[in-house]
Amino acid sequence: MKLDVLVNDLRCNEVFGTVRAIVYTIEFQNRGLPNAYILLFLDSKDKNFAGDDINNIISAEIPNQQTYPKYYNTVCDFMIHGPCGIVRPNSPCMSNGRCSKSFPKKFVDVTSVGEDGYPIYRRRDNGRTITKAGVELDNRYVVQHNRYPLLKYGAHINVEWCNQSQSIKYLFKYVNKGNDRVTTSFYQSATDKQSGTTIDEVKMYYDCRYVSPFEAAWRILGFEIQYRCPPVELLNFHLPNEQSIYFDEDAPIVVIVERHTVKHSMFLTWLEAYKKYLEAKQLTYAEMPTKFFWKQATREFVPRQRGFSISRVFYVPPGSGEMYYLRCLLNVIRVSTCYEDLRTINGVLYDNYRDACYALGLLEDDKEYIDGIVEASQWATAGELRNLFTTLLSSNCLSRSEVVWDKCWTYMSDDILYKQRNILNFQGYP
């Protein structure tokens, strides 16, 4: 109930500003209650924060006990990390003699944004302390938070400011990482070893999904595990007569071929919508869900009566040939009633989608490969991007590899600071 009210609070009451989109996922820990990880996307007028703007929303300091006693007690109960470190080396957060959460933080007089794009919150050395487990803790141990939801909901609500692509990509990977997993192995008893029975270690290895009691209760009660607003519509597309068909393996081939849904894929229905609706001629394929609703029952696009949806065209790697070039055209072509219209540029019908892309200037200077790496950087790791670039080099498909490198090297070196820090730690440097 708290989660539902909190999401409604963030959307309707605009606690942090006008919310354009919201995503959350539920994580279940082995020895704790469910945690909600919530991502808010604010309107452009509310997301360009400076240091003082961040201070008005996020606090990382202990409040005045005399002036705000309830606020002080709530921070003491929910938003103080530790104690850990030398005073408690056996704390759960300790790893190799250090706090894995990087506490205590440093004293800082002014909120600023670091070189890596992450904010450094204000933590003044003002002498305020909180006693926890017999240890006095100052502002260096305060978890950043917002006063309003903390007081209203009386729970641990960590608030972070994020306005750069690296952290956004990390957060999306985190909220979509999937279910908890557990590796289980079964061992034979000592009596079997004495009998000389051969042990097959491969058969004794099982990769299983772990369901905790908390997750089991959550799912039995029918609560949402993931939430998105506005909804995202996945748009598929295909080459002529190459649409995907789903059928029962026991179904007769005649029934499969004559099924009416075979000729009514989402992509073909989009082409038909241009003939029926004038408003559709002003939209690209990716823009259709903003004004039209995909009606699954009748397999057609119909004008929306209320609300809207955002869309995502299925990703296709650059090596997919005509499928990739078709996807490039779908992002720019607006008026199309058939496949030939997609290949017609300025009145000229081209033989294939690649030539049409060249005519529109979409493939100049290896632009299709640059766009492919940039788009893949939204979900792929830096190591995977390097492998993709190496594959492109080895296949001799890049006409000017130095141009592609200059445009994309920042994405492929996204993890260099992390790897450098690991190497220094391995060599014994602090």
For the cut 50, the answer to whether the pLDDT of residue 190 exceeds it is no
Q: What is the dihedral of CA 324, 326, 332, 335, to 10 degrees?
A: -170
* 137 and 84 within one domain: yes
* 162 and 57 within one domain: yes
Global model pTM greater than 0.75:
no
206 or 192: whose pLDDT is higher? 206
* Residue 332 within any structural domain of the chain: yes
Go through 93-120 and write b for each residue having 16 or more CB atoms within 10 A of its CB, e for each that does not. eeeeeebeeebbbeebeebebeeeeebb
* 321 and 200 within one domain: no
Predicted pLDDT of residue 74 = 95
For the cut 70, the answer to whether the pLDDT of residue 336 exceeds it is yes
* 294 and 204 within one domain: no
Predicted pLDDT of residue 61 = 95
Predicted pLDDT of residue 138 = 94
* Residue 351 within any structural domain of the chain: no
For the cut 50, the answer to whether the pLDDT of residue 271 exceeds it is yes
C-beta neighbour count of 411 within 10 angstroms: 20
- pLDDT, tens digit (0-9, with 9 covering 90-100), for 20-33: 888 888 888 756 67
* 92 and 52 within one domain: yes
* 125 and 19 within one domain: yes
For the cut 80, the answer to whether the pLDDT of residue 187 exceeds it is no
Q: In this structure, are strands 130-132 and 135-137 parallel, antiparallel, or unpaired?
A: antiparallel
User: What percentage of the chain exceeds 70 in pLDDT?
Assistant: 82
Mean of pLDDT values over 64-73: 94
- pLDDT, tens digit (0-9, with 9 covering 90-100), for 349-400: 998 888 888 888 887 667 888 888 988 888 888 888 999 999 888 876 776 6
H or E stretch including 1?
none
Mean of pLDDT values over 263-287: 86
Residue 62 — very low, low, confident or very high, per pLDDT cuts 50/70/90?
very high
Determine the structural domain holding residue 417 and report its residue range: 363-430
- pLDDT, tens digit (0-9, with 9 covering 90-100), for 137-165: 999 999 999 999 999 999 999 998 876 66
For the cut 60, the answer to whether the pLDDT of residue 185 exceeds it is no
* 170 and 187 within one domain: no
Mean of pLDDT values over 309-323: 83
Distance CA 356, CA 269 (A): 23
* 57 and 158 within one domain: yes
* Residue 277 within any structural domain of the chain: yes
| 43-52, 157-166, 185-194, 245-254: the lowest-pLDDT one | 185-194
* 325 and 215 within one domain: no
> What is the SS3 assignment for 352?
coil
Please give the span between the terminal C-alpha atoms of the chain, in angstroms, as a whole number: 45
* 385 and 334 within one domain: no
For the cut 90, the answer to whether the pLDDT of residue 427 exceeds it is no
Q: In this structure, are strands 232-235 and 310-313 parallel, antiparallel, or unpaired?
A: parallel
* 132 and 85 within one domain: yes
Single out the residue in 302, 325, 340 at which a domain terminates: 340
421 or 88: whose pLDDT is higher? 88
| 85-89, 273-277, 360-364, 396-400: the lowest-pLDDT one | 396-400
C-beta neighbour count of 265 within 10 angstroms: 18
> What is the SS3 assignment for 113?
strand
Which one-letter DSSP state was computed for residue 145?
Answer: B
The residue whose two tokens read 């491969």 is 202
Number of domains, the chain: 4
* Residue 230 within any structural domain of the chain: no
* Residue 20 within any structural domain of the chain: yes
Instruction: Decide if 371 contacts 360 (C-beta within 8 A).
Output: no
* 59 and 30 within one domain: yes
Predicted pLDDT of residue 67 = 93
Mean of pLDDT values over 288-304: 87
